[in-house]
């Protein structure tokens, strides 16, 4: 099992910032990279705010907070992404993820593990474009990444056992609960959960009930969050793209058909909490 000291996280959006926070919190030297300088600034502020919340709740000391922040380098330079493990959390598009891994393969050692936080894209397809595909693996965190315990560790056709096991062990060191799964569209959680979103959007399209009523009913029946508030938390665009990618991967099975209402929200830039408006409206800080 390889020893991990340094972790690179690509993409400092909703998921990347939380992943970088847990890596640094567990003592790893962490490089957080994004193409957007303003996203990097927001990520730094969000991580500091999350850690401060930990201090207020008595879970962290102020010194822990400072030490965690000090372990993270925020950068827009790809050349700094030299690490033992690279975890990508960029937009859910195969060609973007592949081109990042290919580029980083050129500046990293052949033993660097490339892990993807993809929600639905085939690890097998992603790995096929990367030199030494046996070191490509899925490491699927859940939102919010600094709180949710589950991590799906996804093996593609070429993924080596040692790679998957190293990542499972890393997940444990991050305080997470890894579950080993084989590559399949949406893996386990997103495949099962897809109907939660898709059917709720159909109910909305058919005018059966409004957003708030559907959410309220689902909460009353035992779900922690209703489908629409959850889509706003995930990012309406991210949720839409995952459905579209699974629809294609399941050979256009109508069960996974993306919703026009959801597409319209994406087209309008109403992406949920991150833009201040989605299915609901939020106060922007």
Does residue number 23 form part of the binding site for ligand NAI (CB under 6 A)?
no
Does residue number 159 form part of the binding site for ligand NAI (CB under 6 A)?
no
Does residue number 113 form part of the binding site for ligand NAI (CB under 6 A)?
no
Does residue number 11 form part of the binding site for ligand NAI (CB under 6 A)?
yes
- Please pick, from the candidates 21, 30, 117, 122, the single residue that binds ligand NAI as defined by CB under 6 A: 117
Does residue number 90 form part of the binding site for ligand NAI (CB under 6 A)?
yes
Rounded CA-CA distance 23/12 in Å is 13
- Please pick, from the candidates 21, 119, 122, 243, the single residue that binds ligand NAI as defined by CB under 6 A: 119
Rounded CA-CA distance 96/211 in Å is 33
Q: In what order do the strands lie in the sheet containing 6-10?
A: 72-75, 29-33, 6-10, 85-88, 113-116, 136-141, 150-155, 177-182
* Interface segment toward ligand NAI; rule CB under 6 A; list 45-53, 66-74, 113-121, 168-176: 113-121
Q: 155 by DSSP, 3-state: which? A: strand
- Cross-strand partners of 85: 7, 113
Binding mask 200-239 for ligand NAI (x = CB under 6 A): ----------------------------------xx--x-
* Interface segment toward ligand NAI; rule CB under 6 A; list 5-13, 105-113, 165-173, 176-184: 5-13
- Please pick, from the candidates 91, 107, 147, 157, the single residue that binds ligand NAI as defined by CB under 6 A: 91
**DSSP result, 63-132:** HHHHHHHHTEEEES-GGG---SEEEE---S-HHHHHHHHHHHHHHS-TT-EEEE--SSS-HHHHHHTSSS
Active site residues: 119, 140, 152, 190
Residues near ligand NAI, by CB under 6 A: 10-16, 34-36, 39, 89-92, 96, 100, 117-119, 141-143, 234-235, 238, 242
């Amino acid at each position: 099992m390889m020893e991990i000291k340094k972790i690179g996280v690509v993409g400092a959006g909703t998921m990347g910032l939380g992943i970088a926070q847990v890596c640094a919190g567990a003592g790893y030297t962490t490089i957080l990279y994004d193409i957007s300088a303003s996203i990097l600034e927001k990520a730094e502020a969000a991580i500091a705010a999350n850690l401060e919340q930990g201090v207020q709740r008595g879970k962290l000391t102020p010194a822990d907070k400072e030490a965690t922040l000090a372990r993270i380098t925020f950068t827009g330079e790809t050349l700094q992404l030299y690490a033992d493990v690279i975890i990508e959390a960029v937009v859910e598009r195969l060609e973007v993820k592949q081109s990042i891994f290919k580029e980083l393969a050129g500046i990293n050692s052949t033993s660097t593990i490339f892990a993807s936080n993809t929600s639905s894209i085939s690890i097998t397809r992603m790995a096929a474009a990367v030199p030494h595909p046996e070191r490509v693996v899925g490491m699927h965190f859940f939102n919010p990444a600094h709180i949710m315990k589950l991590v799906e560790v996804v093996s593609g056709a070429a993924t080596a056992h040692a790679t998957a096991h190293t990542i499972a062990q890393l997940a444990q060191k991050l305080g997470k609960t890894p579950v080993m799964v084989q590559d399949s569209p949406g893996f386990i959680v997103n495949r099962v959960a897809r109907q939660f979103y898709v059917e709720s959007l159909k109910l909305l399209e058919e005018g059966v009930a409004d957003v708030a009523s559907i959410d309220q009913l689902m909460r009353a029946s035992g779900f922690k969050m209703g489908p629409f508030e959850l889509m706003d938390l995930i990012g309406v665009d991210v949720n839409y793209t995952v459905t579209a990618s699974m629809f294609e991967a399941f050979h256009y099975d109508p069960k996974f058909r993306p919703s026009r209402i959801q597409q319209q929200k994406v087209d309008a830039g109403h992406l949920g909490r991150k833009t201040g408006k989605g299915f609901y409206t939020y106060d922007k800080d």
